[in-house]
Structure 1
Amino acid sequence: MSYTGHCACGAVTVTLEGEPFGVGQCWCRQCQRIAAGSASNNAIFQASQVTTTGDLAVHTYPAESGNDSIQSFCAACGTPVFGGSSAMPHVVAVKLGIIEQPHDLRPGMVMWTSEAPAWAVIDPALPQFPKSPPIPAAEVS
């Protein structure tokens, strides 16, 4: 399976080969800022599964974990495209909003519930983590 997508203006395109190894919803404060107050919904792919064209701008900031959080967005229109962490350079969190519909990707877990606002609607059937879930292992060749 592969997925394609693009930013709001079409200047950045992505091709995602294969299936993500996870899809999650993040309620950390930084994701709330990026998602206009809501959670960020992300499909987690190995970096080797992701191809991008177009000009991405990158903002890096220190996360609560002590690692650097990396946010990539279209340099032309500002659409969030990817998230990542210096602790997991082999992983790319692709924002679900850029992936072309229809697709069957939907969150299978919720993280940073400790920072969710009181009005947040969180599916009680999904595994929940007050902070970050366990870090996935690096891809083995």
Structure 2
Amino acid sequence: MANAQCACGALRLMLSEPPQLTALCHCLACQRRTGAPFSANAFYSIGCVEISGTSTEFIRTAESGRKVRMHFCPTCGSTVYWKADAAPSWIGVAVGSLADPAFAPPALSVYEQSKHHWVQLDETVEHFQGSVSG
């Protein structure tokens, strides 16, 4: 069982199963959300996630045109999880909120069309210029 939380600890997730998928995203929205050149994401079956604490929801329209509902701590501002209309049975979790250096490496790297040129990923990661479907 894994735990994820915001920086101040007020918003927490209990994860009772391993992730279904791990991925890096280089889209501009993720760069702005994280303040980093890409986001590291783990996707869990929504049924294995127990959420405690209060979150503020920010809804944005993804490049696909569908809604993504970002949940962040109203106290410290950390984005801990999100739900995408495109994948209603999954919940996305920021890998950094798990604070586990041994966490599984990413299987995919998406939206590499906007990847910073100095970011180097090895051949064990599957590469996509856009989304997995694009």
TM-score, length of structure 1 as denominator length: 0.86
Deviation beyond 3 Å, 4+ runs, structure 1: none
Secondary structure of 1:117's aligned partner: coil
TM-score, length of structure 2 as denominator length: 0.91
Q: Which residue does the alignment assign to 1:127?
A: 126
Secondary structure of 1:33's aligned partner: helix
Tell me if 1:73 matches 2:72: yes
Q: How many pairs were matched up?
A: 133
Note the C-alpha offset of 1:123. 2.9
> Over residues 69-114 of structure 1, what are the superposed CA-to-partner deviations in whole Å (9 max), with x where a residue is unaligned?
2211111111010133111111111101111425432211101111
Q: Which residue does the alignment assign to 1:97?
A: 96
Tell me if 1:54 matches 2:53: yes
Q: Which residue does the alignment assign to 1:115?
A: 114
User: 1 CA distance for matches of 2:38 and 2:121?
Assistant: 10
Secondary structure of 2:92's aligned partner: strand
Q: Which residue does the alignment assign to 2:18?
A: 19
Unpaired segments ≥5 residues, structure 1: 135-141
Tell me, yes or no, if the aligned pair for 2:5 and 2:12 is still in contact at 8 Å: yes
Look up the equivalent residue of 1:42 and give its one-letter code: N
Unpaired segments ≥5 residues, structure 2: none
